Amino acid sequence: MPETTQNASVADLLSLLDLERIEVNMFRGVSPDDGMKRVFGGQVIAQALVAAYRTVEDRLCHSLHAYFIRPGDPSVPILYEVDRSRDGRSFTTRRVVAIQHGEQIFNLAASFQTAEDGFEHQSPMPETPAPKTLASEEQLRELAKDKLPPALAKSFSRPRPIEVRPVEPQNMLSPKPLPADQKLWMRARGQIPGGQPMQQALLAYASDMGILGVAARPHGVSWLTGDVQMASLDHAMWFHHAFDLSEWMLYAMDSPSASGARGFNRGEVFTESGKLVASVVQEGLLRRMKPRGDKA
């Protein structure tokens, strides 16, 4: 696709999702060289969904359920092994296992369906300011990068394929307690080829951005404050309607519960016109740690 219609960061993400087939049901993916010590969870979800789609014809994913088992190592490839669980008349089921260093780091189950008409209803989209009136995440990060260690500042300010504009941003370096909900506008920085399968893969990638932090908001902590350990444990998505992530979409999230060192979070994704296109649920580790510098 010409560079005039596709931002370089989107092209890089699409390249990451273009898995190498190394056997009939085995695929290999890589991670970006962005200085991160762990693989971003959204990347593994998206790559696993792409691997499943490589074994499915003429059906779209309507739901996926995933577990993060071990941290991913960005310095080595990830192998995705697809189990063709079932091919029915209306539904197809796939299970994908992600492997590094001979061990499972992640698994995903996904269900695909032939197109059908049926009953229709949805929850209403929350009222929010228009995305054009809000500061971008890059602008907010720019204000904070000088207060971070150089290595983290470089990763913190790197270009991202998904543009994000929070409705009520939180100061990640010195957060104050806020309600357990968050809304943000997001869109891909360029056009997305590949039809709905690739749209779904990119939304799966984007759905892991910010959702775990919603459970931390009432407690005045973030992954930058040094007093909390956070990691995704499981992630589920349901796709309701077709969409185009190159257009603005509202990601409305809330966290109804935190307990047992875990935070439970929900999300709904709407088009700018108000159509609910996807729902997300994630539980993550939310473990209280000693603040940096506390030797007690």
Q: Does 294 participate in catalysis according to the annotation?
A: no
* List 208, 222, 246, 254, catalytic entry: 208
Helix (H/G/I), strand (E/B), else coil: 107: strand
In whole angstroms, what is the distance from residue 47 CA to residue 244 CA?
Answer: 19
Sheet holding 26-29, edge to edge: 20-23, 26-29, 78-87, 91-100, 103-113, 60-68, 228-239, 276-288, 262-271, 249-259, 181-188, 162-166
Total length of the chain: 296
Q: Does 18 participate in catalysis according to the annotation?
A: no
Q: Does 208 participate in catalysis according to the annotation?
A: yes
In whole angstroms, what is the distance from residue 34 CA to residue 49 CA?
Answer: 22
The residues, any chain, with a CB within 8 Å of residue 196's CB and separated by 6 or more, are: 60, 242
* List 31, 47, 207, 282, catalytic entry: 282
Q: Are strands 276-288 and 262-271 parallel, antiparallel or unpaired?
A: antiparallel
In whole angstroms, what is the distance from residue 209 CA to residue 69 CA?
Answer: 19
* List 9, 31, 232, 246, catalytic entry: 232
Q: Which residues are catalytic?
A: 208, 232, 282
